[in-house]
Amino acid sequence: MSKKQRVLTGITTTGTPPLGNYVGAIKPAIAASRADDIDSFYFLADYHALVKCEDPERVQRSTLEIAATWLALGLDTSRSVFYRQSDVPEIPELTWLLTCVTAKGLMNRAHAYKASVDANLKAEEDPDFGVTMGLYSYPVLMAADILMFNAKRVPVGKDQVQHLEMARDIAQRFNHRYGELFELPEAEVDEHVATLPGTDGRKMSKSYDNTIPLWLPEKKLRKAIMKIKTNSQEPGEPKDPDSAAVFSVYAAFASPEQRAAMRQAFADGIAWGEVKQQLFELINAELTVPRERYEALISDPAKVEKELTVGAERARELSRPFIAELREAVGIRRLG
Ligand code: TRP
């Protein structure tokens, strides 16, 4: 593979993809993967899933659903490397090499870990109650995901920026001790990308239980959209698009022309029911064909498995020689 700029991101396999994830992450990633000047790496972070999820069926099912989602939405696997983390054994191997240069104090500062400690202290529990080593040290695993492929650009949500800083810190320490082996990765947080509000108007998030799943059948999708919270303004009353969740969702799917027309319709007093109907039609039109492809893939897991196997093979063409170099660098070498 040529040495273009490398873009890499991972998706933790613990659930079913929500609509917000599609507009906020998947759609822009698939679009970016078509650019000629980058090499893209997208992977299913199933080792990360184990940190949060102890239900084996759910991890497996989520892996299938997320892989099928990316494929159904048009990821071109001949242009980007699409693989499952656990198919690349060099990643956990690198995790250990990195663990040995990672300051414990750095991990102490991780937001996710600190949040658990704070919650425990508040509940007058032992500070580390319920904290596994997986939760504590997963920023190192994430650093290995990135550094394994010397990815330069890492598109992530804001909540992951700290992990990228940690990955840079770990890479620097390793480079300092063993030579310039790693590029320093950078988080790419796209401020323009839509964060969808959920059905209650707050940010769409699993923790608020306000998400709309991406692959609802048509009728259920319509129903979910009809449930998005609005205020009690009557038809004919001018409405403010910028404070309406339905408008934000509409804007995320609409062309600039459609968006402008909807703004005008708000000023003219369009009824909430009508906005929702138009929103449903817009989303449904975009998802109808991919939804059929998705259903076909879900009922043919062997096909998805084959894509992932090919992806892992391509990933390992890079990770195998690189891990050999890294082992050599740290002194894990043949004798004589
Ligand atoms: N931790 C990330 C999340 O929860 C997922 C992830 C795992 C990831 N490994 C990664 C993202 C490497 C970017 C690069 O969203």
Mean pLDDT across 39-52: 97
pLDDT above 90 (res 317) = yes
pLDDT of residue 191 exceeding 80, the answer is no
Whole-angstrom Cα distance, residue 253 to residue 285?
10
Going from the Cα of 263 to the center of ligand 1, the distance in angstroms, rounded, reads 36
Assess whether pLDDT exceeds 80 at residue 190: no
Question: Comparing C-alpha atoms, which of 87, 3, 94, 8 is closest to residue 324?
Answer: 94
Question: Is-contact 210 176, C-beta < 8 A?
Answer: no
27 close to ligand 1 (CB < 6 Angstrom): no
Query: What is the average per-residue pLDDT within 20-29?
Result: 91
Q: Is the predicted pLDDT of residue 322 greater than 60, yes or no? A: yes
User: To the nearest whole number, what is the mean pLDDT of the chain?
Assistant: 95
pLDDT of residue 208: 84
Q: What is the pLDDT of residues 254-305, one digit of tens each?
A: 999 999 999 999 999 999 999 999 999 999 999 999 999 999 999 999 999 9
Tell me the C-alpha distance between 70 and 40, whole Å: 13
- Is the pLDDT assigned to residue 192 strictly greater than 70? no
- If you search the block for the tokens 């991890």, which residue do you land on? 59
Give distance in angstroms: CA of 243 to centre of ligand 1. Answer: 31
pLDDT given at position 213: 95
- Element housing 218 (H / E): helix 218-226
- The reply to whether domains 5-194+301-330 and 206-295 share a CATH topology is no
From ligand 1's centre to the CA of 335, what distance in Å?
A: 37
Q: Is 9 in the pocket of ligand 1 (CB under 6 A)?
A: yes
Give the tens place of pLDDT for each residue, 116-149. Answer: 999 999 999 999 999 999 999 999 999 999 999 9
How many Å lie between the centroid of ligand 1 and the Cα of residue 215?
A: 22
Rounded to an integer, what distance in angstroms lies between the CA atom of residue 263 and that of residue 258? Answer: 9
Q: Which CATH number fits domain 5-194+301-330: 3.40.50.150, 3.30.420.40, 3.40.190.10, 3.40.50.620?
A: 3.40.50.620
Q: What is the total residue count of the chain?
A: 336
199 against 318, higher pLDDT: 318
Rounded Cα–Cα distance for residues 326 and 152 (Å): 18
Please report, for the chain, the start and end positions of each structural domain, with discontinuous segments joined by +. 5-194+301-330, 206-295
**What is the rounded average pLDDT of the residues 163-168?**
98
Ligand 1 within 6 A of CB of 46? no
| Interval 291-314: pLDDT, tens | 999 999 999 999 999 999 999 999
Nearest CA to ligand 1 atom 11: 10
Residues paired with 110 in a beta bridge: none
CATH superfamily of 206-295: Tyrosyl-Transfer RNA Synthetase (1.10.240.10)
Paired residues of 196 in beta bridges: none
Question: Looking at ligand 1, which residue's alpha carbon is closest to its atom 4?
Answer: 12
Q: Which helix (H) or strand (E) holds 220?
A: helix 218-226
Q: What integer pLDDT is reported at residue 206 of this predicted model?
A: 77
**Closest Cα to atom 6 of ligand 1:** 10
Task: Flag whether pLDDT at 160 surpasses 90.
Answer: yes
Mutate to test the pocket of ligand 1, among 43, 53, 163 (most ligand atoms within 8 A of CB): 163
Residue 42's pLDDT is what? 98
Q: Is 201 exposed, middle or buried (0-12, 13-18, 19+ CB in 10 A)?
A: middle
**If we measure between CA atoms, which residue out of 167, 175, 127 comes closest to residue 146?**
167
Nearest CA residue ID for atom 7, ligand 1 = 10
| Mean pLDDT value of segment 82-104 | 98
Distances (CA, A) of 225 to 35, 131, 267, 314: 33, 38, 21, 40
